[in-house]
Amino acid sequence: MKKSSLVVWSFLCAVAVLLFTTRSSILFICNNWDDANSYFTMGKGMMNGLVIYRDLYDQKGPFLYLLYGIAYLISKKTFLGVFIFEILAATVFLFYAGKFIHRKTNGYIAFALVPILSAAVYSSWSFYFGGAAEEFCLPLLAISLFHLDELLHDEMTEERLEYIFAITGLCAGIIGQIKYTMLGFFLSWFLIALVWIGKKKGAGFAAKVAVDFIIFAIIPSILWFIYFLATGSMDDWFRCYIYNNLFHYSQVSSGDYSFFNKLYEMTKTLYWLIRDSFSYFVWIIVGMAFQIVTEKGVLRKIAGIFMFGCTYFVIFIGGNKLAYYSIPLMVFAIPGVAYFGKSVKELSLKYKKEIPKAFALAACAAVLFESVLFAADNTVNAEYRKFKKEDMWLVEAAKILDENDTLLEINAIDAGLYTATGIKPSCEYFQTNGINLDKMFEEQKRYLKEKKTDYVLAVNYEPEKIYDNYSLFKVFEYNESEHEETYYLYKKNQ
C-alpha cells in the first residue's frame, strides 16, 4: 500500500464525512456552538495583540487558541479556517488509523475500513458540534497508539525506539498545552512502553528513552513559557489554565464528591457513553475482546484496557460529563477495526479467493458512499444542517452590528455574535464563562455600570439594572430540538 494513496484516501474520507457532521462545514449556515465560538474569539484577540489569560479569560490551552487564531486569519467571520483544520486533523487521524489497520490486514481491507471508522467516529454523539479541543488532539493520539503497536510487536533498532519515545513525548507535550486532562493516555502509554523496553533492552536503555520522552514533552511548554514571560502573563496562565480548572471547574477537590461517588458517577457516565455513541464504542469493545483472546503475553493482552481505563479516569474524575469530553476515547476504536479486518483477511485466505483489483476499488468506493450516508443521518447535527439563513438569528444580528462596535455577552459562553459580526473582544470577561468566578460576575457588573461596550447580549434573562445605561434594541429567538434560546440585545444609551 502506497503511503501517498492512503493520504489521499484519508483526506477524501475526512472531507466526505465532515461535510455532513461538523457545524464548521460549508454545508451549515454557521457553527453556533458556544465553546467553539469562545475559542475563535480568544484566537481573534490573540491575533489582534491581546494576551490570552491576561487580557482575555478562558481556560483551554494556548495551542488551541493559536490554531483558532490562524483560522481567524483565514476567514475572519466564518469557520472556514476551522473546517480546514478539522479536515487536516481528521486526515492525519485516519492515515495513522489506516496504517494501524494495514499492519494487521492488507491494503484493500485497510482502505475499505477507513471510511467505516471515519463515519463511526465523526458522526457519533461524542463528536458533538465540531471544533472541540479534543478533536484536534485525535491525530496525536493516533500517532502515539500506532507507535505503541509497533513497539509491542516489532523488532526495532535502538534508534527507532528512541524516535518513538521522542515523538510520543512531543505529542504529549502539545496536548498538555491544549487540554491536560487527556494526559492520562500518555501516562499509561509511558508505563506500558517503559515496562516493555525494560524487559527487552534492560533498565539502562529504558531510563534513556524515558529521558527522551520527558525532554520532548517539555519542549512545547518552553515555547509558550517564553511567550508568557515576554508578556508578563505567566501567573495568568497558571491561574486560568491550571488552578481554576482544578479547583473551580472540576469537582476533584470537592468534599461533597467522595471517591465512591466519583466511581459510581463515572460508571454511570460510561454506560451512557456506550449507549449513545455505540457507533465507535462497539469497535472499542471488539478491540479489547480480540486483544485478550488473541494476543500473546500479559502486557499485550491488557494494554488496551489499561490505557482506556487511565484515559477515561483522568478525563472524567473531575465530575463533568459533557459529550465531547469522550472524544479522546475514539482512538481506542482503531484496534477494534484492525482486528476485525484481520479476521476478514484470515477468512479470505481460508477460502483462497483473490479479489480482482477493479472489484476491490469499487467496493471501497461503495463503502465510502454508504459510510457518508450513515454519518449524515447519524450525526446530532442532522437537523441543524437543514437550517436556512432566515432560521439563524446570528445572520440577522450581523446585519445590525458593525465590526467596529464593542460587545459584551453575558449569562452564556460566547453565543457566536463576536464571530458573525467580526467584533473584537474588548473586555477580559467578554463572556460568562462556565467557571463560576466571583470576580467574573463583579467585573461584568462593572462593565454594565461603566457602559464599557456599545452593545450587550444577554441570554435567556434581562440583567439587573441593565436599563440604567442600556435600552433593549432587539430580541432574537432560536429554536432547535432540545435547544431553545432567547437573546436580548441592548444598545448603550447616548
d(CA 184, CA 368): 33
The verdict on 221 and 307 lying in the same domain is yes
**C-alpha closest to that of 30 among 80, 85, 92, 65:** 80
> Could you tell me how far CA 458 lies from the centroid of its own chain?
28
> SS3 of 79, please?
coil
Q: Residue 241's pLDDT is what?
A: 95
d(CA 170, CA 179): 14
57 close to 440: Cβ distance less than 8 angstroms: yes
Q: Give the end of a domain, one of 365, 384, 403.
A: 384
Asked whether residue 66 is domain-assigned, the answer is no
Q: Residue 257's pLDDT is what?
A: 62
The verdict on 186 and 335 lying in the same domain is yes
Convert 117-172 into a string of H (helix), E (strand) and C (coil). HHHHHHCCCCCCCCCCHHHHHHHHHHHHHHHHHHHHHCCCCHHHHHHHHHHHHHHH
Asked whether residue 52 is domain-assigned, the answer is no
SS3 breakdown of the chain: % helix, strand, coil, rounded to 5? 65, 5, 25
Q: Give the end of a domain, one of 384, 412, 430.
A: 384
Question: Which residues of the chain fall below pLDDT 70?
Answer: 1, 250-257, 352-355
Q: Residue 256's pLDDT is what?
A: 60
The verdict on 259 and 282 lying in the same domain is yes
The verdict on 303 and 373 lying in the same domain is yes
**For 238-280, what is each residue's pLDDT tens digit?**
999 999 988 877 555 555 667 778 888 899 999 999 999 999 9
Q: Give the end of a domain, one of 326, 359, 384.
A: 384
The verdict on 326 and 201 lying in the same domain is yes
pTM above 0.85, yes or no: yes
CA distances from 27 to 19, 21, 80, 83, 130 (A): 6, 9, 11, 11, 13
The verdict on 332 and 466 lying in the same domain is no
Number of domains in the chain: 2
CB-count burial class (<10 Å; 0-12, 13-18, 19+) for 478: middle
The verdict on 221 and 106 lying in the same domain is yes
d(CA 368, CA 380): 20
Asked whether residue 73 is domain-assigned, the answer is no
CA distances from 421 to 34, 66, 70, 129, 332 (A): 15, 21, 18, 21, 40
CA distances from 254 to 135, 247, 251 (A): 29, 8, 5
Q: Could you tell me the strand order of the sheet in which 407-410 lies?
A: 407-410, 455-459, 483-492, 470-480
The verdict on 423 and 369 lying in the same domain is no
Task: Say which residues have a Cβ less than 8 Å from residue 42's Cβ, sequence separation at least 6.
Answer: 52, 56, 58, 60, 65, 68, 69, 425
Asked whether residue 63 is domain-assigned, the answer is no
Q: Which residues of 232-247 are buried (b: 16+ CB within 10 A; e: fewer)?
A: ebbebbebbbeebbee
Asked whether residue 41 is domain-assigned, the answer is no
Range of the domain at 245: 3-31+79-384
The verdict on 475 and 326 lying in the same domain is no
The verdict on 95 and 217 lying in the same domain is yes
Asked whether residue 129 is domain-assigned, the answer is yes
The verdict on 210 and 304 lying in the same domain is yes
The verdict on 333 and 257 lying in the same domain is yes
Pairing of strands 470-480, 455-459: unpaired
Domain of residue 459, CATH code: 3.40.190
Asked whether residue 83 is domain-assigned, the answer is yes
d(CA 413, CA 112): 40
CB-count burial class (<10 Å; 0-12, 13-18, 19+) for 389: exposed
> SS3 of 485, please?
strand
28 close to 400: Cβ distance less than 8 angstroms: no
Asked whether residue 438 is domain-assigned, the answer is yes
82 close to 36: Cβ distance less than 8 angstroms: yes
Q: Residue 403's pLDDT is what?
A: 94
